[in-house]
Amino acid sequence: MIYDRVCFIGLGLIAGSMALALREAGLAREIVGTARSARTREVALARGLCDRVTATAAEAVDGADLVVLAVPVGAMGAVAAEIGPHLAPGATVTDVGSVKRAVIDAVAPHIPEGVHFIPGHPLAGTEQSGPESGFAALFRNRFCLLIDEGAEAGALDRLTRFWQGIGARVETMEADHHDLVLAVTSHTPHLIAYTMVGVADDLGRVTDSEVIRYSAAGFRDFTRIAASDPVMWRDVFLANKDATLEILGRFTEELFALQRAIRTGDGAQLESYFTRTRAIRRGIVEAGQDTDAPDFGRGAKT
């Protein structure tokens, strides 16, 4: 057991998966949770995600030695303000948001002296959301990035062991660098997916929805990404706008270069570009972050 009482503020996919995984691994004596929606609280309790579910965040954090903020990035500041006066001395507060600098700016001012704030981001998820979607294996062999900007060594080590205990591979990173990396690997790809699905929807109205009915694998995977929680992604793009806009600018330049190659019939440039980028996919598989099995290895949750 690493923590006595773990508290989750927000009980969606990530928090639910964490709760199931830590219960399976026996890493906490008690799991407490809360969520804004009464239905979410009821489902979380019925699924056994938590031992207790409270109506407010202030009640939930009482006596907790680990508090996990698992709410949309835009709600982090308000939640931190609510729980700050009720945090136990020596407790650790972490989060699972996809943006780090904005979360630090919103949360840190509300963390009292003697409480450790260590921002985090598990690089795991699906397009599903809500308390029904969590599963214990979500973090196995996935990276969790912890932001070490002056964190107390003992608290950081304890949180690291917690994440490792539920299967994650833990690394530390500086907040601004994290936001730039994630703009490349997650945020901009999601924005492109949303855009492509929107374009197909517009075209589908003209072609009697044939674009939707005859979707091939590439478009199918775009739609999977674009099915993600719209509130969460709205907040991500607004909170990480500088890095996202920088990467979008670079993407646009690359796209113009490919347009020119297609227009001029420059097959050599296209083949060279596709050969270079294909290697990225091989690198992802070799790093253990996906499989080369058909259908991108997406199978039943375990």
| Predicted pLDDT at 302 | 41
| Predicted pLDDT at 294 | 57
- What residues of the chain score a pLDDT lower than 50? 296-297, 300-302
What is the DSSP secondary-structure string of the chain? Answer: --EEEEEEES-SHHHHHHHHHHHHHT-EEEEEEE-SSHHHHHHHHHHTS-SEEESSHHHHTTT-SEEEE-S-GGGHHHHHHHHGGGPPTT-EEEE--S-SHHHHHHHGGGSPTT-EE--EEE----S--STTS--GGGGTT-EEEEE-SS--HHHHHHHHHHHHHTT-EEEEE-HHHHHHHHIIIIIHHHHHHHHHHHHHHHHHHHTTTHHHHT--HHHHHHHHHHTS-HHHHHHHHHHTHHHHHHHHHHHHHHHHHHHHHHHHT-HHHHHHHHHHHHHHHHHHHHTTSS--SGGGG-----
Please answer whether residues 9 and 57 qualify as being in contact, where contact means their C-beta atoms are separated by less than 8 angstroms.
yes
Please answer whether residues 158 and 2 qualify as being in contact, where contact means their C-beta atoms are separated by less than 8 angstroms.
yes
- Taken in order of first residue, the domains within the chain and their CATH numbers are 3-173 (3.40.50.720), 177-265 (1.10.3660.10)
| Predicted pLDDT at 49 | 93
| Predicted pLDDT at 301 | 46
pTM as predicted: 0.83
HEC letters along 97-145 = CCCCHHHHHHHHHHCCCCCEECCEEECCCCCCCCCCCCCHHHHCCCEEE
| Predicted pLDDT at 222 | 75
